[in-house]
């Protein structure tokens, strides 16, 4: 353990702690800070996450002039905009509590490669949602959608299922060109009336065509 300096001991270096104004930004993460008549070329300390801008009042500090860093932004010239930035990966953790992100206008999540959501339960509640996706792949054990109206508009629709069940009060389907059905067996049953009408109607059977009723009217 390092012992404290004894009273009366004179330090062999002059610590630096000054307030100044950022006058320009340089490559490599360096900031040029004007402190009275002296310009200091310093880097931002790792603990200073707020990115300084030209015109900001900052605090620079260090044990010697060659080891001086920008440790804090005291006053922003444009307080309406702030940017937190760090080099490398960042983890914001709260092992025993919650994390809330709140904004008065909007919240934007942007990832140059991807955005990953990994959780046990996902809750989303909005008044209106707009989703624009180039390609979408969904995999799950089940999906349930409860809405008052559904409208699907596209150039093609393909459905591949082992079984399809539909229950509706009324069904209306309009096909402008050709509708084709290929099935092993077709069974239609109506409680009241079945009507087939066309300009030309053909009923053919390879082996048998059977019409059975109490009354049959033809012509």
Distance CA 87, CA 46 (A): 9
Q: Phi and psi for 17 in degrees, rounded to 5?
A: -155, 105
CB 83 within 8 A of CB 51: yes
Distance, C-alpha 146 to centroid of its chain: 23
Distance, C-alpha 58 to centroid of its chain: 35
32: CB partners within 8 A, 6+ apart: 22, 23, 24, 25, 26, 39, 40, 41
Q: Phi and psi for 23 in degrees, rounded to 5?
A: -105, -25
Structural domains of the chain, ranges and CATH numbers in brackets:
16-75 (2.40.50.140)
* Residue given tokens 């009217």 in the structure block: 217
| Strand 69-75 with 38-44, pairing | parallel
CB 120 within 8 A of CB 114: no
Amino acid 8: pLDDT = 61
Q: What is the mean pLDDT, run by run of 10 residues, along the chain of 219 residues? A: 53 83 93 94 94 96 93 94 89 94 92 93 93 93 92 93 93 93 94 92 92 89
Quick one: tokens of 167?
């229950």
Amino acid 26: pLDDT = 93
Amino acid 2: pLDDT = 43
> pTM of this prediction?
0.65
Amino acid 219: pLDDT = 76
CB-neighbour burial class of residue 35 (10 A; exposed 0-12, middle 13-18, buried 19+) = middle
Quick one: tokens of 100?
């809330």
* Residue given tokens 């002059």 in the structure block: 14
Amino acid 7: pLDDT = 62
């Amino acid at each position: 353990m390092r012992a404290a300096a004894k009273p009366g001991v004179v330090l062999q270096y002059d610590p630096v702690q000054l307030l100044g104004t950022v006058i320009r930004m340089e490559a490599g993460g360096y900031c040029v800070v004007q402190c009275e008549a002296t310009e200091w070329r310093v880097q931002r300390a790792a603990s200073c996450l707020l990115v300084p801008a030209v015109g900001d009042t900052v605090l620079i500090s260090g044990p010697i002039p060659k080891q001086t860093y920008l440790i804090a932004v005291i006053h922003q010239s444009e307080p309406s905009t702030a940017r937190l930035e760090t080099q490398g990966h960042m983890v914001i953790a709260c092992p025993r509590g919650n994390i809330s992100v709140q904004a008065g206008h909007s919240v934007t999540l942007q990832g140059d490669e991807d955005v990953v959501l990994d959780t046990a339960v996902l809750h989303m509640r909005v008044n209106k949602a707009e989703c624009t996706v180039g390609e979408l792949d969904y995999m799950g054990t089940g999906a349930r959608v409860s809405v008052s109206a559904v409208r699907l508009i596209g150039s093609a629709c393909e459905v591949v299922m082992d079984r399809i069940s539909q229950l509706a009060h009324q069904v209306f389907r309009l096909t402008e060109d050709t509708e084709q059905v290929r099935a092993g067996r077709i069974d239609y049953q109506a409680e009241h009336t079945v009507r087939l009408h066309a300009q030309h109607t053909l009923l053919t059977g390879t082996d048998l065509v059977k019409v059975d009723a109490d009354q049959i009217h033809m012509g």
